[in-house]
Structure 1
Amino acid sequence: MATDESGNINTQDLESYINSLPAGELTQEEKDGLLYMVEEEKLAHDVYTKLYGKWGLEIFKNIANSESTHVNAVRLLLEKYNIPDPTKDEGIGEFKNPKLQELYNKLIEEGMKSEIDALKVGALIEETDIVDLQERIAQTNKVDIIAVYENLMKGSRNHLRSFVKLLGSKGVKYEPQVLSKEEYEEIISSSMETGGKGKP
């Protein structure tokens, strides 16, 4: 099983699957996609780590740990295709992509306001991740890249469900910021997902 209910990715399973597939030539768009996604997954990890430090909510610690497996999943592809890892020497909250640096700063500012704002930031990150992954999947026909992105997306859907559920338990109805109302409702009304490509 590549992805569990907590959104953790079993990178060992995934690595075996990825390496069993031939390495084709990547387009620049595919390379750019991998570079962007590894930093976007790191952004999620870094924001949740900071918000856990501020608010002490277990959900942030658990999902930050899960995001580490997401970063490592993209790193498998960077390694396979000999693409230098932009996150290798980056500290918490540091990004090479200026768009992601700006987004990180904005999300941290928002998430430090209150617990509820922090949880809303979490849901927004997962929404954004889902939409970005959908766009990246549409840009490639490489089976290994699609497998990784689909596992990431499954993890993000599970994380979104977790944030929305916790907000609901605190009396807050979350409204989608990035996803369409229909897609959002479809995700949160369905069960946690497991499995996926990467199973040997």
Structure 2
Amino acid sequence: MKTITRRAATFVTAGALGLGGLAVAAPALAGNGPFGPGPAGTATVSQPGRGPGMGAGYGDGTCLQLKVTTAQGTLTESQKVTLASMAQEEKLAHDLYAAFAARYDAVVFDHIATAETRHLDAVRTLLQRYGIADPTANQQAGKFTDPAVQATYDRLLAKGGTSLAEALAAGQQVERDDIAALRDAQAGLTAPDVKQVYANLLAASERHLTAFTRWSTR
């Protein structure tokens, strides 16, 4: 099982994400941390589905890819702030799951961490489109510019470090929080590209929550 963990980590580092039997090209994550300045142009968002190596009923919420090709719209200042916060939430999820993947023999963390990398790429594409500063650029793993996000990460990392059960519970909490935030963010939103990304992130988070919940009852 740990061999799978190490192999998945290698794919992420190299920028080639292997999911669902597909080798999906992804931009190299350059910069000082696991997430560099971010890709320009088109990004991809995972569609809900079942990932490999999970067993029947243990899908990780990632499968097909959907390009962000819908038209750009307009965002209010409040919606721009929310979009920037989404980048921090995706990074928090990735960094937390990557840390748990290194600690526990539970491949669910590897698969969902990989998905979060791709989700962040999509959010960063939107940040670039709308000229919004990326709060995750050049941030080391486990480091965040928002003190509240940093405190949440530190708390969940400590909680999940005590046992696999607690790590899975932390994953469930992250996904529940993401679902609530994405639902709130959709209210009054008109920009087609942002609506598309939020809808797909919401579907993925629901699948991730299901995966963590099922793993917790194995």
Query: Structure 2 length normalisation: TM-score?
Result: 0.71
Which one of the candidate residues 51, 74, 78 is aligned to 1:25?
74
Higher relative contact order (CA 8 A, sep 6+): 1
Matches within 5 A, 1:90-109: 90-109=139-158
Partner of 1:81: 130
Partner of 1:3: 47
Contact preservation (8 Å) 2:96, 2:157: yes
Contact preservation (8 Å) 1:9, 1:70: no
Whether 1:70 aligns to 2:119 is yes
Q: Which amino acid aligns with 1:89?
A: N
- Structure-2 separation of matches of 1:73 and 1:140: 17
Which one of the candidate residues 5, 11, 14 is aligned to 2:67?
14
- Structure-1 separation of matches of 2:48 and 2:179: 17
Contact preservation (8 Å) 1:126, 1:156: yes
Percent of aligned pairs with the same amino acid: 34
Q: Which amino acid aligns with 2:128?
A: E
Contact preservation (8 Å) 1:9, 1:73: no
| Structure 1: gaps spanning 5 or more residues | 170-200
Which one of the candidate residues 118, 126, 142 is aligned to 2:167?
118
| Structure 2: gaps spanning 5 or more residues | 1-44, 50-59
- Structure-2 separation of matches of 1:142 and 1:25: 6
Deviation at 1:14, TM superposition (A): 2.3
Q: Which amino acid aligns with 1:94?
A: K
Instruction: Single out whichever of 154-163 and 140-149 deviates more from structure 2.
Output: 140-149
Query: What is the Cα-based RMSD across aligned positions, in Å?
Result: 1.7
2:134 is paired with a residue whose SS is: coil
Structure having the larger proportion of residues in helix: 1
Partner of 1:36: 85
Question: Number of matched residues?
Answer: 164
Structure having the larger proportion of residues in strand: 2
- Structure-2 separation of matches of 1:95 and 1:47: 12
Query: Structure 1 length normalisation: TM-score?
Result: 0.77
Matches within 5 A, 1:157-168: 157-168=206-217
Contact preservation (8 Å) 1:38, 1:71: yes
